[in-house]
Structure 1
């Protein structure tokens, strides 16, 4: 068991987790600026990006890199400084460290060594997107970035299929279209919102169904960082029991009919399209691409 009283001993070093603006520098807090000025050193995901932030606010604290490729070797060096009584801050390029960014391992190591970890509140793209989406925010599940490969992405979405909580994803502009297509194939035509360039001049929300947004993305040159917010499974529990195939992917659904009913792939595709209320051409495409 670990009990932390964050400020009982002023002589102890502290690891501060400091969120930074996700686009609008005015979103930095007074407390974050105070911490960044007072710590001995700032561990940054990209020192070049963080240097721009520090220069803007005339902060001269030294920087050290802490990112995905050096976090294992850097952790011991940073912890030694905290254990010696120094306080350090960790920041990512934007938003809250450890949320789809480096930071978790350093926090874990500090706790294991009985060092205080103080997390400051601040900017986070996923929560901004959730509240602005207009979808239920009482219960939500943050996934982060989906796998890049289509089959891995489909498998991940299938595991989320029965979640009733609102689902949150980060996505690259280069993969938004593919992700929406895979969502349509695996989860159906749910309500969804895209939030891009949050807090920046070109902030934009696009709200609708998956099918509507698929039409929209075909007409756009996609730029910026994207958050996808999607409604959870709203199928009543009693209806779920009637959908015997609900746990199957589209591909497995087609293969089931081929094997169990001894029908051709053409007939199986037709039946799956009827079950799922999908266009036959979409089922055909999934079956012949993924088989």
Structure 2
């Protein structure tokens, strides 16, 4: 088929046979009711979606920094795909936040690129940098195990949008958790050096986990009416998975302790690492206000 220009060829949705994955991608939330459920404070729903969306957005950015740095090409592709999954979750959740706070007139780009660090609501685990690959997979294991447990429960949320986003995310997070777990076991139960590096990574990351289970007041209000998940209810499942993986990795789960002094990211209190991430992530959008591409 002939086209007048390359753009027309790329955007033609009737000739998918030329492309490995097709060209006409469907909206994963098409047909899902967008109205805020009865009895739900729109401000609370927006704040909760920001929490979940910011977790995914910041963790995605950290994973993207490992493309070209992973041990093998296969792992670079895996980390890139995991990062894209999380970016997709972030887009859906930030869009839902904008729908809930419709009076503010913001869109997902405003939330991603035009907020200061103190306005972000991600947990501090997501923003932490990784000194080596062992630290990365330990952090990804903890993040994915916690988020998968939350999304599994959120799939039953009274908010149809949150339920649909979570149901889609469960499939993605299952792979994220399994990928990280395999590497933790491989390194922990590998050579003497890899075991030492993996043990050091877990020892450095586990102290950050306490924040994951401390409920914010918004989470508690929404959990009470069937919209959100009380993070405290995720603890038993999280501990069971982590204990199993660390045992298989010949690491003692009881040897690692949490740090109660981790800043409360849900309240906008962050480490210096978040400002560094935002300086990089927001540079183009802030240097070209109103720009489109």
Larger RCO, structure (CA 8 Å, separation 6 or more): 2
| TM-score interval (norm. to shorter) | under 0.3
Larger fraction in strand? 1
Structure number with larger C-alpha Rg: 1
Query: TM-score, length-normalised on structure 1?
Result: 0.23
